[in-house]
Structure 1
Amino acid sequence: MILVPLWQRLFVAAATVAAILLALPNLFYSQVEQANDARASIEAGLASDELEAQAAQWPAWLPSGLINLGLDLRGGAHLLAEVQVADVYASRMDSLWPTIRDVLAAERDTVGFVTREEGGDPSELRIRISEPSGAARALEIVRGLAQPVATLAGGAASDIEASAQNDILTVRLSEAERAATDDRTVQQALEIVRRRIDEVGTREPTILRQGADRILVQVPGVGSAQEVKDIIGTTAQLTFQPVVQVTSDAEANPGAGNVLVPSVDEPGVLYVLDRAAVVTGEDLTDAQPTFDQNGRPAVSFRFDAQGARAFGEYTAAHIGEPFAIVLDDQVISAPVIQSAIPGGQGIITGQFTPEESTELAVLLRAGALPAELTFLEERTIGPELGADSIRAGQTAAYAAAVLVVLFMVASYGFFGAIACVALAINIVMILAALSLLGATLTLPGIAGIVLTMGQAVDANVLIYERMREEIRRGASPIRAVEEGFGKAFSAILDANVTTFIIAAIMFFVGTGTVRGFAVTLALGVLTTLVTGVYVSRVLIALWFARTRPKTIVV
C-alpha cells in the first residue's frame, strides 16, 4: 500500500473543497455581483425592499468573492490624460509674492515701495521697486529666500532664481525645482485620480503613470469615458481667502495681488479677494455631507493641525470681517467672522441638492488636482467586445483542455486520466485564488491559464516517465509509484521555481496586460505544485488501496 501521510490527505481534501466553494460564485456572476452591491448599499445606510431582495439572491453564508474582469473582458473606459505641470509654476509664484512683499517692505528705506507687475509670463514673478538704486539690495534679499533642492546628480540647487533690470526684479523657479515640481505634481495627480475613482466604488481600475507627464486610466464596467472624466476632471479646488471688497462692476480693477471672483448664489455680485489664500483644500482631513441648522444640504469639513492653526489665528485677528469660501474660482459663501474658530472645523452652505453635497464631499476628501488634466485619448469599450473576448478565451481554454486530455489518456491510460482530474482541480484552484485575492482577469490572463494547462501536466509526465523506468527495471507497482514521485519532485520544483521567478519579474516590471498574464502564470505555478504532486499522489494512493493491483501499465 502506498503510504500517504494523514496531513497530506486532509490538506488535499480541504484545499479541493475550499477551491470549489471559492470559485463557485463565478458561475453566478451577475447574481452574486448584484447581491454584493445590494449588501454594500444596505451597510451604507440605504434600505429598501428591492435591495433586500437583491441581497437575498445569494446566501450570505456562502463565499461571495468574484474575479474582477479587466477592461478587455468587461468593457469600460480608457483615458490618457496629460498633466499641465506649468500651471503649478504660476501657483508657486502667487504663494511666493506675499513673502517677498513683506521682506522687501522691511527694507523700504533702501528699495522703496514694491508692487507686482501683472501680465507677462505667469510662471515668473515680476516686481517693480520705486528706488532703482536699491535693486542690488532687493536682489540680495530675494535670493536669501531660496531653499535647497536635492537633485538626482547629488548635491543641491536653489529652488528659485532672481535677476534685476533697472527697477524690475524677476523671480522664477530654477530648472532643478521645475524638474522636482513636475515629478511631484504628476505623482500627486496620480494619487488624487486614484482616490477619486476609489471613492465611487469602481472595481479594480488601472491607473498608471506613462512618461514624464501623462496618466493612463482604465476603468472596467462603466458605461462611457465621459463618466470617468466627470469623476476625475472636476477640479474641486477649495480655498479660504480674505475679502477686500464687494462690487458689481465686472470691469473693476482688483488691484495688485488681488483677484476678482464671481458669486455662485448672487448673480452680478463679484468679490475682490486677496490672491493669497489663508488655508486651502490641501489642509482638509475630512469632508462629509450634512445638513445646516435650517435642514438644507451642506458639507462639513475638518482641517489638519497646520490648517486648523492658520484658520484659528486668522479668524481670531479678523473678527467682524467677511471671509470668502471659494470653490473652483467661485465664491460659494462669504460669512462674516463672528468669533475665533480654533477647532479647525466648519460647514459649507449653499444651494446644494443632497446629491451635490455628497459629490462635493467626495471630491474634497480626495483632494484637489494640483494641475489641469488634458485628455489626449479617450475610448469607450462596449461590453459586447468584452463578451466576444470571453467567448474567444473560453474556446481557447476548451480546445486546450480537450487536447491535453486526449494526449494524456492516449499516452498514459488510466494514470493520464488521473492527471486530468488533478488538472481540473488545478484550474478550479486558480479561479478560487483569483476570487480570493480580488485579482483582475484579462485576456492575457486567460492565456496564462491556458499555458498553465500545458505546464501542469508536465509534472505528471515527469512522474509517469520515472514510474515507467522503475517498472522496466522490475520494480513492484508500489515501489514504482514511490520512486516516480520521489525522484521527479526535485525536477518539478526546479522547473516551477524558475517559471515563478519569470512571472514575478513580469509582474513587477511590466504593466497592464503583461501583469495580467504574470498573475495567472504565477498562481498556476503554485497550484501545479499542489495538484501535480500531492493531489495526484493521493488519488493514486486511494486507487491502490481500493484495487490492490499486482501490475500496472503506465
Structure 2
Amino acid sequence: MKRIVAFFLVVVITLVAAGFTTPHLVSKIKLGLDLKGGFEILYVAEPIEAGKAVTSDALKETARSLEKRADSLGVAEPEVTTEGTDRIRVRLPDVQNEEEVRKSMKEPAELTFRGPDGTKEMVGSDFVEGAAKVGFDQSNRAQINIKVKDADKFKKVTEKLLGKPLAIYLDERQLSAPTVQSVLSDGAATISGNYTYEEAKELADTINLGALPLKLTEKYSQVVGASLGQLSLQQTVKAGLIGSILILLFMVIFYRLPGLVAAVTLITYVWLLLAVFDWMNATLTLPGIAAFVLGIGMAVDANIITYERIKEEIRSGKSLLSSLKSGSKHSFRTIMDANITNLISGVVLFYVGNGAIRGFALTTIMSIILSVLTNVFFSRLLIHMLIKSGKFNKPSLYGVKEAEIRGL
C-alpha cells in the first residue's frame, strides 16, 4: 500500500508542478530570428593602417568581437558570419532598441591603455596581433604575457608611469589596472594580479581582439521578417500538441499500464526541457523546434524498446518483476548505443557549427540527457513501484494476453 501511495504522490506532484509552471516557462522562451524576425547589418572591413590587407584571420576575429559585443548588449543568439574577403553580416533577432544596438555595433570595441589622468597612452593596434598569451608566475598564478610593436614607445610610457597604474579599458569599461613596476625596453611585458586562469584568458583574448587593424563601415541594414510567420508558428504549436496527444493515446492503448507511465515520463521530459531552456536563457529557432520534436521521438522510442522487451519476457513465462529487470537490462544497451551516437553527433555539431546549427545541437544534447533520465530511469522506477505493490500483477495490464504466455 505504501508503494501505491508513493507512486501516486510522485505522479501527482510531478504533473501539478508541470501544469503550474509550464505556461510561465513557455511565455519566457525567446524566439530566434526565423521565428520572431529582427534586422541585419552588412559591414565592409578595411585596414586602419594604409597599405595593409584584410586577412582571413583578422576578419574572423573581428566577427567574433562583434558577436561578443552583441551578446553584451543582451541580443540572444546573434548570427555573425564572414562573407568573401572583407565583409561581415550580422543578424540580430528580436531587438527592441534597434537604433541603440546599431549605434553600439557600428564600430568594434576600442581597446585603450590609460594613465591615472585618463590619457590614452596606447591603443589595441600598438600590440602585436595574437601575441597576448596566458602564462604562470613562480607561485603558479595566472598572468598575461604581451608584446608591443614599438619598443621605444612602450619604454617611454613605462618611464612616465613608473609606480603608477596603466589601466586597460574596453570602450569605457575598465578591465584591469596593473601597476607599472619597472621600465620596459624590450617590447615585452607581463600583466600580473590575482587573476584566475579564466579571467587571464579573457583579458588576453580581449587584448588580441583589440589589436586587430580593422575598421568597419556599414554597407546597409534591413529589417528581416520571420521566415515562419505568427500564424504558421501557432499552427505548428497546435500540430505539435495534437501529435503529442496522439502519441500518448497510442502508448496507453498498446502498452496499458506501462503506457500510462510513459505518458507521465514524456510530460516530465518536455517540462524539464522547457525548464532547462529557461535556465540557460536559450533562444528557440526553427532548427531548435526540429531538435525538440526529434527528442520527443527518441524519448518515445526508448519507451517502446523497453516495453516491448518487457512484454517478450512476460510471454516467456517469467514473473512481472523478473520481466522488468531482464527487459530493462537488455533494452538499456540498445537505448544507450543510439543515444550516445546521437550525443557525439550533437557535440561535434556544437563545436564546429555556428548560429542555428549550434542551437540545434544544444537542444539535441539536452534532449538526450533528459530523455535518458526520465524515460529510462524515472520510467523504470515508477513501474517498479507498481509491480512491488502487488496490486497490479495481471499480465493484461502490461499489454500481454494470458494465452500468449508460454510455460517456462
TM-score scaled by length of structure 1 = 0.50
2:93 to 211, 220, 237: 220
Give, in angstroms, the shift of residue 459 of structure 1: 1.3
Give, in angstroms, the shift of residue 199 of structure 1: 3.8
Instruction: Give the secondary-structure state (helix, strand or coil) at the position aligned to 1:475.
Output: coil
Give, in angstroms, the shift of residue 282 of structure 1: 4.6
Q: Which residue type is aligned with residue 172 of structure 2?
A: A
- What is aligned with 1:182? 55
Provide, for residues 274-322 of structure 1, a one-character-per-residue CA deviation record: whole Å limited to 9, x for no partner. xxx97335569xxxxxxxxxxxxxxxxxxx9969994782698xxxxxx
CA spacing shift, 1:396–1:377, aligned 2, 3 Å: farther
Unpaired segments ≥5 residues, structure 2: 114-119, 128-145, 176-205, 400-408
Q: Is the 8 A contact 2:25 2:278 kept in 1?
A: no
1:71 to 11, 15, 33: 33
Larger Rg: 1 or 2?
Answer: 1
Provide, for residues 59-93 of structure 1, a one-character-per-residue CA deviation record: whole Å limited to 9, x for no partner. xxxxxxx6543222343332333322xx3451xxx
- What is aligned with 2:331? 488
1:497 to 327, 334, 340: 340
- What is aligned with 1:83? 45
Give the distance between the partners of 1:534 and 1:200, measured in 2 at CA.
41
CA spacing shift, 1:184–1:450, aligned 2, 3 Å: closer
Q: Which residue type is aligned with residue 291 of structure 2?
A: G
- What is aligned with 2:104? 231
Q: Is the 8 A contact 1:79 1:225 kept in 2?
A: no
Give the distance between the partners of 1:235 and 1:471, measured in 2 at CA.
67
Q: Is the 8 A contact 1:192 1:368 kept in 2?
A: no
Give the distance between the partners of 2:104 and 2:166, measured in 1 at CA.
26
Q: Is the 8 A contact 1:206 1:218 kept in 2?
A: yes
- What is aligned with 1:27? 24
**1:322-361 → structure 2 map (5 Å cutoff):** 342=162, 343=164, 361=172
- What is aligned with 1:407? 250
Instruction: Give the secondary-structure state (helix, strand or coil) at the position aligned to 1:421.
Output: helix
- What is aligned with 1:196? 69
**1:209-358 → structure 2 map (5 Å cutoff):** 209-223=82-96, 226-234=99-107, 279-280=122-123, 282=125, 310=153, 313=156, 342=162, 343=164
Instruction: Give the secondary-structure state (helix, strand or coil) at the position aligned to 2:96.
Output: coil
Give the distance between the partners of 2:109 and 2:349, measured in 1 at CA.
37
Please give the root-mean-square deviation of Cα atoms over the aligned residues, in Å.
4.4
Give the distance between the partners of 2:122 and 2:85, measured in 1 at CA.
30
Instruction: Give the secondary-structure state (helix, strand or coil) at the position aligned to 2:107.
Output: coil
Task: Identify the structure with the greater helix proportion.
Answer: 2
CA spacing shift, 1:305–1:511, aligned 2, 3 Å: closer
State the percentage of identical aligned residues. 33
Q: Is the 8 A contact 1:312 1:341 kept in 2?
A: no
Give the distance between the partners of 2:292 and 2:311, measured in 1 at CA.
29
- What is aligned with 1:206? 79
Instruction: Give the secondary-structure state (helix, strand or coil) at the position aligned to 2:55.
Output: helix
- What is aligned with 1:455? 298
Q: Is the 8 A contact 1:20 1:429 kept in 2?
A: no
Give, in angstroms, the shift of residue 205 of structure 1: 2.8
Give the distance between the partners of 1:520 and 1:195, measured in 2 at CA.
22
Provide, for residues 314-366 of structure 1, a one-character-per-residue CA deviation record: whole Å limited to 9, x for no partner. 698xxxxxxxxxxxxxxxxxxxxxxx5543659xxxxxxxxxxx996259999
Give the distance between the partners of 1:237 and 1:501, measured in 2 at CA.
39
CA spacing shift, 1:430–1:211, aligned 2, 3 Å: farther
CA spacing shift, 1:445–1:212, aligned 2, 3 Å: same
TM-score scaled by length of structure 2 = 0.66
Instruction: Give the secondary-structure state (helix, strand or coil) at the position aligned to 2:394.
Output: coil
Q: Is the 8 A contact 1:471 1:477 kept in 2?
A: yes
Q: Which residue type is aligned with residue 42 of structure 2?
A: L
Q: Is the 8 A contact 1:83 1:213 kept in 2?
A: yes
Q: Is the 8 A contact 2:39 2:221 kept in 1?
A: yes
1:529 to 361, 372, 384: 372
Q: Is the 8 A contact 1:71 1:386 kept in 2?
A: no
- What is aligned with 1:442? 285
Unpaired segments ≥5 residues, structure 1: 4-8, 31-65, 91-122, 124-172, 241-276, 285-303, 317-339, 347-357
Give, in angstroms, the shift of residue 510 of structure 1: 3.0
Give the distance between the partners of 1:279 and 1:531, measured in 2 at CA.
56
Q: Is the 8 A contact 1:396 1:450 kept in 2?
A: no
